[in-house]
Amino acid sequence: MIRSYRWAAGVFALLVVLSTGVAVSSTAVADETTATAPKVDLVLDVSGSMRATDLGGQSRMAAAKQAFDEVLDATPEEVLLGIRTLGANYPGDDRKKGCEDTAQLFPVGPLDRTEAKAAVATLTPTGWTPIGPALLKAADDLEGGEGSKRIVLISDGEDTCQPLDPCEVAREIAAKGVGLTIDTLGLVPDAKLRVQLSCIAEATGGTYTSVERREELSDRVSQLVERAADPVVVPKAVQGAEACEQAPALESGLFTDREEFGQQRWYRVDVEPGQELRASVSVAADRAVNPDYGVLLRAVTVKGREIVRGEAAGAGRTDVMSTGLRYPKAEADDDETAETVCLVVTNSFSPAGGVKTTPGLPLELTVDVVDAGDSASDVAAFGLGRGWWLLGVLVVVGFVAGVLWGWVSRWRVAVWRTN
C-alpha cells in the first residue's frame, strides 16, 4: 500500500514538473514573440476642425472613424497596435492646457478589436492640435522590444502649439536611434499642412500622403499597418567618435548614427587575413541645405594611412547621398592577427539660412566582412575575363569575315568581267 502510494506520488510529481516546464517554455516563447513583434501607434487628430464636412459629404471625424473600423478589422494578428489622440479632451481656450491634450485611447499591445472600435466610436472633435507633444508621447508608447516601430499620424491641420516644432520633435525622435518611422496623412489639400507633415515624415524615413476620400484613408492606413508586419532589418544605433582610438568596434550589420554638418565620424572594424571589408554609407539631408555637397567614406589604418575611399557629390537634386568602398585583405601566415580598419565618414552639407543644425543629419552605415573567396569580385573578374575573351573572338571573326567578303567580292567581279 505504501509502495503504491509512493509510486502515485512520484508520478504526480513528475507530471507537475513536466507541466511546469511546458508552461515556462510556452511563456518564454510568448515573451520572445512579443519582444520581436512589430508595433504601430495610430495618432489621430481629434481637434475642433475635424467637424468639417468635406470628405465625401461626411465630417472628417466620421470618415476617420469608419476608416479606423476597417483598419482594425484588417490588422495582422502579429502586430501590436495602439491608438493615441490629440485634441480630444480639452475644449477651452487655455493654450497651455490645450497643448497638453494628448491621451492614449488604446494601449499598444495585442489588439482587442471590439474594445478598440468602441473606444474610437466615443471620440468627438474638441480642441487644439498638439502634434509635437503627441509625437513625443507616441514614441514613449512604442518603447521596448526589438521589432519595427511605426507611428501613423492623421491630421487635418498644422500644429497649434509652437514653438515646439513637430518637425524638430521628429528629428529628435530619429536622433535617439530607436528605429522608429513616422508616416503622416493629411486630410486637406493645404500647402502649409503638406510642408509640415512631409517634414515630419522625412525626418524619420517615413512617407507623407494627402487623402481626400474616406476610402483613400482606409486603404493607406491599412497599407502602413501591414507594412509594419513585413520583416525588416532594424538598424542598430551607434555613436561614432572623433578619432579612431575612441571609435566603437563594429561587426557586420546595419547601423544608424547622427552627424553634424561638416563633421567626421569614426568607426573601427577588424578584418582577418583573407577577408574582405565592404562598407557603404548614406547621409540624408532631413532639412533645407545649400546646394553643392558631398559624402566621403574612407578606410584608413590606425596610424592614419588611407587604404581606400569612396565619395559622392551632389548639387541639390537629391536629399540622400550614398557611397561605398571595398578592401580585400590578402592571405597571410596563420600567425598574423586581424587588422583594425578605421572607417571615417565626412559630409560637406551646409545648412540653409535659419535652419537648426542640431540634431545632426541621419547617417546609415552598412558593414559587411566576408571571406575573400566568397567575394562578388571573383564573379566580376570572371565576367570581365569572359567579356575580353568574347571581344577578342568578335574581333577575329570580324576580321576573317571581312577578308572572306573581300575575296568573294573580287572573285565575283572577275567572273563578271570574264563573261
Cell (9 digits) for 315:
548639387
> The pTM is what?
0.64
pLDDT for 274 equals 87
Q: Answer with the one of 191, 212, 229 that is the final residue of a domain.
A: 229
Same domain for 161 and 243, yes or no, is no
**186: nearest Cα among 169, 161, 171, 166:** 166
Crossing angle of helices 191-203 and 166-175, rounded to 10°: 10
154 in a structural domain? yes
Cell (9 digits) for 10:
512520484
Please, are residues 112 and 105 in contact by the beta-carbon 8 Å criterion?
no
Same domain for 193 and 258, yes or no, is no
351 residue type, one letter: P
Same domain for 55 and 168, yes or no, is yes
pLDDT for 314 equals 80
Find the domain containing 50 and state its range: 36-229
Instruction: Find the CATH number of the domain harbouring 107.
Output: 3.40.50.410
Cell (9 digits) for 45:
487628430
192 in a structural domain? yes
Same domain for 294 and 171, yes or no, is no
Residues sharing a CB contact under 8 Å with residue 241, sequence separation 6 or more, in sequence order? 247, 248, 265, 266, 267
Cell (9 digits) for 102:
494628448
pLDDT for 417 equals 58
pLDDT in tens, 148-206: 899 999 999 999 888 889 999 998 888 876 678 999 999 988 889 999 999 999 888 88
pLDDT for 377 equals 41
Same domain for 335 and 245, yes or no, is yes
Please, are residues 42 and 227 in contact by the beta-carbon 8 Å criterion?
no
Residues sharing a CB contact under 8 Å with residue 270, sequence separation 6 or more, in sequence order? 249, 338, 339, 340, 341, 369
Q: Of 163-172, 262-271, 306-315, which one has max mean pLDDT?
A: 262-271
Cell (9 digits) for 103:
491621451
Instruction: Find the CATH number of the domain harbouring 351.
Output: 2.60.120.380
pLDDT in tens, 322-360: 899 999 987 765 556 889 999 999 999 999 888 888 888
Same domain for 53 and 182, yes or no, is yes
Give the number of residues written for the chain: 419
What's the pLDDT band for 392 if we cut at 50, 70, 90? low
pLDDT for 386 equals 41
pLDDT for 196 equals 93
